[in-house]
Each structure stands twice: as C-alpha cells, then as structure tokens.
Amino acid sequence: MREVRVFAPATVANVAVGFDILGFAINRPGDEIVARLNDSFSGVRIVVITGTGDKVLPTEVEKNTAGMAALRLLQHLGEEGRGIELEIHKKMPFGSGLGSSAASAAGATVAVNELLGAPLTRESLLYFTVLGEEVADGSFHADNVAPCLVGGITLIRSNDSLDVHHLPVPTNLHVAVVHPEIEILTRDARAVLSDTVLLKTAIQQMGSLASFITALYTNDLPLLGRSLRDHIIEPQRKKLIPGFDQVQAVALQRGALGCSISGAGPSIFALCDSGYLAQAVGQGMQAVFQDSGIESQVYVSPINQRGVEIIEVID
C-alpha cells in the first residue's frame, strides 16, 4: 500500500503589521501527516491521531481539518472512489498561535496529492487546504496555510480570491518564537478585537505595513525594525498574555528588530538579524515567563523556505 509521510511546519501569522494578510513558516515545531492508499474502502478515513495530550481531535472526517482538506482534494480530483487512510501526528500545541490546524490541513493535502502521483502544484493545493482549515474556526483565511504550504513569507491580497504572493526574505533573518503554556482560543482572541479602528491608527499601521514590504524587497533590516509595530491588534490582545510587555521589552533590549504576538497568541515571535541573536532573544523571553512561573518552549529558526516537506514515500 503506497504511503506518503510529510512534515508540515508551524507558521507565524499577522507578523505585527499584516493582520490576516501576512505569515511566514518556521523550521520547528510541525505536524507529521501520513496518507496511505487502502482500496478496501472508498473516501478518507482518519485511522490514527497522536500527540494531542489531554485533548481530543475529532476523527470524523468532515470535522477534522486534515480530513476535510483531504476529502475536498479527493473530490476535486474525481478520485472519491479511492480509499485513503490518514494518520495525524500532532507535534505542536493547539491554540498556540503557531498555525496548528493549518499545518495539519496543509500536510494532508500535500500527502494526498503526492500519494496520487502529484497531479496538482503546491500552489493549487491552497484552496482545498483553506477549506480544511475552515473547519477549525469557521473562517476562510490563508494567512497560516499559505506559508505552511509553500514556505517563506507570504502576502494574501485577498482571502476571498486567494491572491497570494511570495515576498523576499532578507539575508540572515531569524526568528525566536516562545510558546508559553497558556491557551488562547482563536475565537476568544477575535472576541477582544473592536470592530472598528481609528482612521489615524489605520494610517500609522499602513505606513508600517508598506515600509515592512519595502524593507523585505530592499533587504533593509533597520527599516524592517522601524516598521515592525502593531498599532491595532497587539494593544487589544496583549492583555490575554500575562507578562507580554516585559517579554517584548526584553526582546527589544537584547536587540530584536521587532517583537509581537504570533497569530492569535499566546506565542510571541521576535525577528532578529542573526541566528545567534535570535537564540539570546529567545532565552531572554523564556526567562521572563519563567520568573512568573509560566513554562514555555522556545523555537529559533531562519524563515523556513520549503513549506511542507515530503519525508518518506513507500511504494
């Protein structure tokens, strides 16, 4: 029975200046997804889920992000007659702001596509992957899915039309991500946000966003540092993360270019101009949480340029 195993990386969405439109992939953590042909049935079945700790992920295909993504892809390809077993090995926490549900969905579409002889390009898998992730929080958005699938830093002009663009990655850019062991549900993180924003605040944020894009294209890390300010979302969401201000202050004191909330939180990312600095920044951020009695994990990585990786194919 042909079998494909893939690794789907964690992602940092929003990136301080691009709420719902920017994201990038990191090297670790990530989920592993296995897809296996089994012609004794037709459709998708989830046969194994590991790594969920004390939580439970639905094994019903239509309620599972990986299952739904695989099913929609199978239907699109007209291959509903095939039987596909899925194994989902969670290797990152849910509700962490690291794109856990996006990783499972992206891993599933890449694995199933490869299993069937790779009829679609990586970019063409985006739509089905977003349909899968939609199961998790009910909203159709690609800011985690796109960088997870294809790697790098991605811009989504429009989630409706999935108009996605690769942005250049400045030399030496590294990221430290700290995941404190507290949970924020995406719906709670959305609930604290005001429906409106002051026009003058939106203008500040737009100046920062446009400069951030410019800094990526011109490899101008000082400008990138000046641009990484979230005027809109961070001030509203940081109250959900105990000690956020101190963590951010330490990151900037140690030389990070910028530091903000990863996705809906509680993870916090800091962009740095070297791996060495990112290590020091990550340790500093972790120490702040530790002083408050909050356990955390630190991940230091360059920007992941590969996206979902095929680890093993067994024919």
Q: Which residues are known binding-site members for ATP?
A: 93-103
Contact status: 169 vs its own copies (CB under 8 A): no
Contact status: 51 vs its own copies (CB under 8 A): no
Beta-carbon contacts of 249 under 8 Å, excluding residues fewer than 6 positions away, are none
Shortest separation between residue 310's beta carbon and its own copies, angstroms = 29
Residue 310's CB is within 10 A of a number of other CB atoms, namely 14
Indicate which single residue of 61, 213, 228, 277 sits in contact with its own copies (rule: CB under 8 A): 213
Q: What are the DSSP E strand ranges found in 22-118?
A: 22-37, 43-50, 83-89
Which residues ranging from 110 to 149 are in contact with its own copies (CB under 8 A)?
Answer: none
Contact status: 196 vs its own copies (CB under 8 A): yes
Q: Dihedrals φ, ψ of 288, to 5°?
A: -65, -45
Site stretch for its own copies (CB under 8 A), options 5-13, 83-91, 118-126, 159-167? 159-167
Q: Each residue of 42-80: b (16+ CB within 10 Å) or e?
A: ebbbbeebeeeeeeebeeebeebbbbbbbbbbbebeebe
Residue 138's CB is within 10 A of a number of other CB atoms, namely 8
Shortest separation between residue 207's beta carbon and its own copies, angstroms = 5
Site stretch for its own copies (CB under 8 A), options 3-11, 25-33, 129-137, 191-199? 191-199
Contact status: 156 vs its own copies (CB under 8 A): yes
65-76 vs 126-137: helix crossing angle, rounded to 10 = 150
User: From its phi and psi, is residue 33 left (phi > 0), alpha (psi between -120 and 50) or beta?
Assistant: beta
- For residue 191, give the H/E element and its range: helix 186-191
Site stretch for its own copies (CB under 8 A), options 29-37, 43-51, 79-87, 202-210? 202-210
Indicate which single residue of 63, 157, 239, 306 sits in contact with its own copies (rule: CB under 8 A): 157
Indicate which single residue of 205, 260, 286, 304 sits in contact with its own copies (rule: CB under 8 A): 205
Q: Which residues bind its own copies (CB under 8 A)?
A: 18-22, 155-158, 163, 165, 167, 193-200, 202-211, 213-214, 217, 223, 226-227, 232
